[in-house]
Amino acid sequence: MSTTPPVILLLSGSLRAASSNETALRTAESVAASAGVRAVRYEGLAALPHFNPDDDHDPLPGPVTELRAAIAEADAVLICAPEYAGTLPGAFKNLLDWTVGGTEICDKPVAWVNVAPAGRGGGAEATLRTVLSYTGASIVEAACVRIPLTQGMAGPDGVVADEGVRGELRRVLECLGKAG
């Protein structure tokens, strides 16, 4: 009897391809199999329309349907989002706003990785906690971690080779996989 590994949806809060948040998620994706999970990166952040409650009904805009389907198909969600001006970047807050009207994330295990240096990123974490509580997501505290990444930690493939970072991301994915 074969079992399929839990699916962890990776959500980046950054639109920058070379961001440390993208680096963390690419690294998580690279260690997923060894964590016993399958990681799937959501790449539709830039395509989401501005949230408007008047548009939050069927038929939903295509990119919103795709976002909600990706969340629904996942067993758990891992977020890595930067802090901008003391909170989440507008594009990622927009993504979260689109999840409030749906039920896909309700009771779904969710965690985040904060890659900011010590003393930074707390505003983004606080906003995540607030918005996720409105959506009914199940925050997995043991999987919410701070793993500061600095310029130059990623190799040419965009992945961190440091075993400490990789091991912590593996632990996070394992924790989410068990929660899902």
Write out pLDDT tens, residues 122-155.
889 999 999 999 999 999 999 999 999 987 899 9
Contact predicate 37/176, CB 8 Å: yes
Picking from 88, 151, 80, 165, the residue whose alpha carbon sits closest to that of residue 114 is 80
| Joined tokens for residue 42 | 């959501």
User: Is residue 61 over pLDDT 60?
Assistant: yes
**Which pLDDT value is given to residue 3?**
83
Please tell me which residue, 180 or 87, carries the higher pLDDT value. Answer: 87
Q: What is the mean pLDDT of residues 43-56?
A: 96
> Does residue 121 carry a pLDDT above 90?
no
Percent of the chain exceeding pLDDT 70 equals 99
Return the amino acid letter for 85.
A
CA nearest to 39, candidates 15, 1, 70? 70
Q: Coil, strand, or helix at residue 42?
A: coil
Tell me the pLDDT of the chain averaged across its residues. 94
Global pTM value: 0.96
Question: Look-up: residue for tokens 């807050």?
Answer: 93
Query: At how many degrees (to 10) do helices 90-100 and 62-73 cross?
Result: 70
- In this predicted structure, the answer to whether residue 60 has a pLDDT above a threshold of 80 is yes
The pLDDT of 23-48, averaged and rounded, is 97
Residue type, 8: I
- 3-state secondary structure labels for all residues of 72-131: HHCCEEEEECCCECCECCHHHHHHHHHHHCCCCCCCCEEEEEECCCCCCCHHHHHHHHHH
Q: For residue range 4-22, what is the model confidence (pLDDT) as tens digits?
A: 999 999 999 999 978 999 9
Check if the beta carbon of residue 28 is closer than 8 Å to that of residue 172. Answer: yes
Can you give the pLDDT at residue 1? 47
